[in-house]
Structure 1
Amino acid sequence: MEREAMEFDAVIVGGGPAGLAAAIRLKQLAGENGEDFSVCLIEKGAEIGAHILSGAVIDPRALDELLPDWKTTGAPLNAPVSEDRFLILSETGATQVPNAFLPGCFHNEGNYVISLGNLCRWLGEQAEALGVEIYPGFAGAEVLFDENGAVKGVATGDMGRLHDGSEGPNFQPGMELHGRYSFFAEGCRGHLGKQLIAHFKLDRDADPQTYGIGLKELWEIAPEKHQSGLVIHSGGWPMQPDTYGGGFLYHLENNQVAVGFVVGLGYQNPHLSPYEEFQRFKTHPAIRKFLAGGKRIAYGARALVAGGLQSLPETVFPGGVLVGDDAGFLNAARIKGSHCAIKTGALAAEACFAALCEGRQRDVLAAYPESFRQSWLYDELHQARNFKPWMAKGLWLGSLMFGIDQLLLRGKAPWTLHHSAPDHAKLKPAADCPKIDYPKPDGVITFDRLSSVFLSSTNHEEDQPCHLTLKDASVPIAVNLATYDAPEQRYCPAGVYEILRDEAGSPRLQINAQNCVHCKTCDIKDPTQNIVWVVPQGGEGPTYPNM
């Protein structure tokens, strides 16, 4: 069956803050100038916001620019930050760093504690009101190129293929969505964005990208323990000083708190489990006191991009742009990316609008990176550019040097530090690293992976091609297990990967793809880069409420 094709002025892949901001800004400009450009946005989740997971504390600066009347039109920013606390944890103690000693990037005055998923749902409503055509449940599966090699759009994934790839009784081929320009806003380690970076060699002048994995739970806690807008960050325990990581606890409205943990994916010890480190973090007295007596109501995990300015690839190519986390726009020092996503989506839309008005199509939107370099966002990311390179040198040295960088030099140091190697290349052989003894979950404060995946409402049709593909099926046993003790069993936060043994003791890798929460960690951290994440059928995966 041939694929049907639809034509648009702009095709946007991804219904997160970057893609929605791009759609809104393009339609705003069209309306202000009497134009009627067609804009189509596809989202692989079953609804806008279904796959969105972030801490989240948002800086509203970019939202102020995009939708100045958001406060009066129902935007779900209901918990202004009321207090900042930064804790350095030992195993049993906590030392609060005086706010006067914290760099400006750790201050949250004027920011809001939010559910980013709920904000995206609201942004989707604003986009549709402006005439954007939004199609949730459609995954961008393939980049399409025209006869000149420019991107002409995307194809959505087929529906109804069986496990062996054959066409099932309910098979429907994907659609082709053609655009004069295409926006890729898939979030961190985007499936198509990764391909475009390789195809056009967009990262040839950039440092290797670095990543983290963020794990998060949503809790309802006792009213007397709740303080709307309280923001707590932590460093130190349970991580070793040579491994980047830290926790957060954000108080939303309605007696809810978001508790989470971030582990840098440049860690060296293959025995480390980010999921178990998160569970340990919750047992610390300074964190447990908020959760005790409460109820866990949601769970999720997502990789985040953290390389900063020096790891940004080129963001434009013939026919398209990368925006938001698909390119790497996140300020790791501030632990914030939503404002970066909204700003870059809007800047790319402005460049696209000018090109459409001039009758151009599928050329390079050079005005987008130029406007970024002139923006406040570039200045912000430049000021924070040395954060992750310093922190890669260890908690204590990194904190000291970044403090000097920010408090004394105000982010204007005459040097820029660089990232030396990608995260997957940093794992050491298991035999060279100490094993880590993680306690069993108690079912009250700490939990196992499968009960957590249940709370994410993750669902995949089992009789379809596995979306977690292997370049070489022998590598998981011959290399990963033999050298690294199968680290995919531990870095995956959803129990997707298991080493099973037959009666003779021979091992094999089992992939439980139906558990996948689409965090992309396996695609990033696999030491041989043998695991390749591709999109499953549209509409599948987690369904995050209020995350």
Structure 2
Amino acid sequence: MRRQSDNRLGVLRPLRRRPRPEEDPNAMKTPAHLIEQYGPREAMEYDVVIVGAGPAGLATAIRLKQLAAQHNSDVNVCVLEKGGEPGAHILSGAVMDPRALTELIPDWKERGAPLNQPVTGDEVLFLQPDRVLRTPSWAIPECFHNEGNYVISLGAVTKWLAEQAEALGVEIFPGFAAAEVLYDEHGRVIGVATGHMGLGKDGQPTEAFQLGMELRAKYTVFAEGARGHLGKELIARYRLDEGKDPQTYGIGIKELWEIPADKAKPGLVVHTAGWPLDEHTYGGGFLYHLEGNKVTLGFVVGLDYQNPWLSPFEEMQRWKTHPAIRAHLEGGKRIGYGARAITAGGLLSLPKTIFPGGALVGCDAGYLNAARIKGSHAAIKTGILCAEAAFEALQAGRAHDELTAYPAAFERSWLYDELHRARNFKSWFKKGNTIGALMTGIEHWLLPKLGIQSPPWTVRRHTPDHARLHAASQVEPIRYPKPDGVLTFDRLSSVFLSNTNHEENQPAHLTLKDPTVPVAVNLALYGGPEGRYCPAGVYEFVEKDGAPQLVINAQNCVHCKTCDIKDPTQNIVWVTPEGGGGPNYAGM
């Protein structure tokens, strides 16, 4: 992605995120003496700074520029993206509902948006170890119908959105991670800072050290995706989730395959439930046929799972061996791999999305509709609504206040109605897969046929995902088969396909509040679940001098955030590495 020309950008450098003191007093902090020694930090001023060049952030930027053009005014907009280019860190299934995109850019088709493959059919399968139950088309719940939607690469769509934003004058800075939220003396958000580049593993400056930079704004919009590290800080600081159900997440493991032409079924959308997961573990598979003889497939496991011996990565590999899935892949070749956390709590877990000086949009807030397995349309819609509220405030000469028009507009929108209909989806599955499937059928198949668009009841949740694990001694270990290298694979060969790369001589971006906890608690009580829930082989327990210790292979990290979410002691804190690091998902 070409950066807008600006001689000020020479001082911008990527930075890993360091937790603020009020978030975690034991976590690594930005050394104040570095700013004192090398500072002050240079600053750039904008009307709006957006953190994250995903669908939500780019939609916010595009809508702001559209409104500015319509009103013959000027709004300076900057987007920071920690990936090497827009789309590099984007991972989704994906089947896209184009409704919000059409609102944002009505002529997207004429402009060449990469929505090339319309959905041609839906299959919903219930898998058992040796057979499959196919849901008749008339019995497929409304939420699983995909007429009018498209099978896409969300990464490709994101790159296209970035091109549209740049054409409108948005400044996009790829490879620069927002590392710190800036506050004024009144506690209002006034921007973000990138941070120091060229720190060694010990956190001290090397000969390549350069100070970070402040990007100050009248409003700052956070669009980091699921479990955004700055969004997490803001939610805690302003207590935005007070009175809400605990947020709940899933981990999605995804592969991209190229298959023989005679197996290609462009536009076919397949969703599965059941095997290999047990009754008490939420999850399921997806398999979508793209154009060009490609299939995108993956497996989602709810991070509220209880068995500490479970490995989402291994469950995905095992799922592919079912005859109903194997039939789509035989004779093909795996060409891509990735993993990403999914914010799945829906409306009941949605935090307050505004605070003095800024807002949360997209999956940073948690707008994904888990019942439909879709979030990109919600991300774009929330970006539109937030931009309209921010533009109105800027036109009125306001700054650093709460954009109350944004949540008000959301509550009047079709997106609110959609999420309100689906509000109980995850709550029912917390009670078991049988109850979840039954109530999904009632709420999304039976009630609409009776003319009732939203269930007249609400089901609440109270336990966060990390608190759900049983002790390892209470559960029978799961024995997973060895990969065959043809249909099933190991973690390290998978990470290789994600094009993940981190500069080795930098402080680890996977930090521990207390380095004794992994062995003393996690290994002793839960059997060391870090080595199983991570889909990239980052965590492993090894023997050293006759005692176990945890080794963190941070260079393998694909930025999925699973460790930050599922660690039963909440001892792991994911912070940003230097910008430009991490995966580079091609065609995913």
TM-score range, shorter chain: over 0.9
Map Cα deviations across residues 500-545 of structure 1 (whole Å, 9 max, x no partner). 00252x1000000000000000000000000000000000000000
Matches within 5 A, 1:185-334: 185-334=223-372
Map Cα deviations across residues 50-96 of structure 1 (whole Å, 9 max, x no partner). 00000000000000100000010000000000010011001121111
For residue 179 of structure 2, give the secondary structure of its aligned residue in structure 1: strand
- Name the CA distance, whole Å, in 1 between partners of 2:445 and 2:320: 31
- Name the CA distance, whole Å, in 2 between partners of 1:249 and 1:404: 25
Corresponding letter in the other structure for 1:431: S
Q: Which residue of 2 aligns with 1:58?
A: 96
- Name the CA distance, whole Å, in 1 between partners of 2:463 and 2:483: 35
Corresponding letter in the other structure for 1:43: E
Q: Which residue of 2 aligns with 1:360?
A: 398
Corresponding letter in the other structure for 1:518: H
Q: Compute the displacement of 1:157 (Å).
A: 2.8
Corresponding letter in the other structure for 1:215: I
- Name the CA distance, whole Å, in 2 between partners of 1:348 and 1:538: 26
- 2:482 pairs, out of 440, 445, 451, with 440
For residue 171 of structure 1, give the secondary structure of its aligned residue in structure 2: strand
Map Cα deviations across residues 96-135 of structure 1 (whole Å, 9 max, x no partner). 1012112110000000000000000000000000000000
Q: Which residue of 2 aligns with 1:72?
A: 110
Map Cα deviations across residues 296-348 of structure 1 (whole Å, 9 max, x no partner). 11100000000010000000000000000000000000000000000001100
Q: Which residue of 1 aligns with 2:5?
A: none
For residue 70 of structure 1, give the secondary structure of its aligned residue in structure 2: coil
Q: Which residue of 2 aligns with 1:493?
A: 535
**Does 2:122 correspond to 1:84?**
yes
**Does 2:183 correspond to 1:141?**
no
**Does 2:582 correspond to 1:544?**
no
Corresponding letter in the other structure for 1:288: R
- Name the CA distance, whole Å, in 1 between partners of 2:137 and 2:196: 53
Corresponding letter in the other structure for 1:543: N
Q: Which residue of 2 aligns with 1:400?
A: 438
**Does 2:560 correspond to 1:522?**
no
8 Å Cα contact 1:157-1:538 kept in structure 2: no
User: Gaps spanning 5+ residues in structure 1: where?
Assistant: none
User: Gaps spanning 5+ residues in structure 2: where?
Assistant: 1-37
Q: Compute the displacement of 1:463 (Å).
A: 1.2
Q: Which residue of 1 aligns with 2:11?
A: none
Q: Which residue of 1 aligns with 2:61?
A: 23
What TM-score does the superposition give when structure 1 sets the normalisation length?
0.99
For residue 127 of structure 1, give the secondary structure of its aligned residue in structure 2: helix
Moved beyond 4 Å, runs of 4+: none
Corresponding letter in the other structure for 1:12: I
- Name the CA distance, whole Å, in 2 between partners of 1:322 and 1:544: 25
Q: What is the identity percentage for the equivalent residue pairs of Structure 1 and Structure 2?
A: 67
For residue 328 of structure 2, give the secondary structure of its aligned residue in structure 1: helix
For residue 72 of structure 1, give the secondary structure of its aligned residue in structure 2: coil
- Name the CA distance, whole Å, in 2 between partners of 1:227 and 1:54: 20
Number of residue pairs the alignment of both structures matches:
546
Q: Which residue of 1 aligns with 2:507?
A: 465
8 Å Cα contact 1:226-1:251 kept in structure 2: yes
8 Å Cα contact 1:319-1:361 kept in structure 2: yes
Q: Which residue of 1 aligns with 2:221?
A: 183
Q: Compute the displacement of 1:4 (Å).
A: 1.0
**Does 2:522 correspond to 1:480?**
yes
- Name the CA distance, whole Å, in 1 between partners of 2:299 and 2:509: 26
- Name the CA distance, whole Å, in 2 between partners of 1:158 and 1:292: 48
- 2:140 pairs, out of 102, 106, 115, with 102
For residue 94 of structure 1, give the secondary structure of its aligned residue in structure 2: strand
Corresponding letter in the other structure for 1:445: L
Q: Compute the displacement of 1:436 (Å).
A: 0.4
- Name the CA distance, whole Å, in 2 between partners of 1:33 and 1:397: 52
Q: Compute the displacement of 1:402 (Å).
A: 2.0
- Name the CA distance, whole Å, in 2 between partners of 1:278 and 1:158: 38
8 Å Cα contact 1:153-1:176 kept in structure 2: yes
Q: Compute the displacement of 1:188 (Å).
A: 0.1
- 1:14 pairs, out of 18, 37, 52, with 52
- Name the CA distance, whole Å, in 2 between partners of 1:82 and 1:409: 26
- Name the CA distance, whole Å, in 2 between partners of 1:167 and 1:119: 38
Corresponding letter in the other structure for 2:290: L
For residue 46 of structure 1, give the secondary structure of its aligned residue in structure 2: coil
- 1:376 pairs, out of 414, 423, 447, with 414
- Name the CA distance, whole Å, in 2 between partners of 1:263 and 1:109: 26
For residue 492 of structure 2, give the secondary structure of its aligned residue in structure 1: helix
For residue 392 of structure 2, give the secondary structure of its aligned residue in structure 1: helix
- 1:150 pairs, out of 183, 188, 194, with 188
Q: Which residue of 2 aligns with 1:533?
A: 574
- Name the CA distance, whole Å, in 1 between partners of 2:428 and 2:290: 31
- 1:386 pairs, out of 424, 428, 431, with 424
**Does 2:373 correspond to 1:335?**
yes
8 Å Cα contact 1:154-1:176 kept in structure 2: yes
For residue 441 of structure 2, give the secondary structure of its aligned residue in structure 1: helix
8 Å Cα contact 1:217-1:297 kept in structure 2: yes
Between 1:14-23 and 1:495-504, the stretch displaced more is: 495-504
Q: Which residue of 1 aligns with 2:494?
A: 452
Q: Which residue of 2 aligns with 1:409?
A: 447
Map Cα deviations across residues 406-462 of structure 1 (whole Å, 9 max, x no partner). 223335222111112100000010000111010000000000000000000000111
Corresponding letter in the other structure for 2:555: Q
- Name the CA distance, whole Å, in 2 between partners of 1:338 and 1:87: 24
8 Å Cα contact 1:138-1:157 kept in structure 2: no
For residue 109 of structure 2, give the secondary structure of its aligned residue in structure 1: helix
Q: CA RMSD in A?
A: 0.7
Map Cα deviations across residues 111-167 of structure 1 (whole Å, 9 max, x no partner). 000000000000000000000000000001000001211000000132110001000
8 Å Cα contact 1:157-1:535 kept in structure 2: no
- Name the CA distance, whole Å, in 1 between partners of 2:241 and 2:427: 18
8 Å Cα contact 1:143-1:153 kept in structure 2: yes
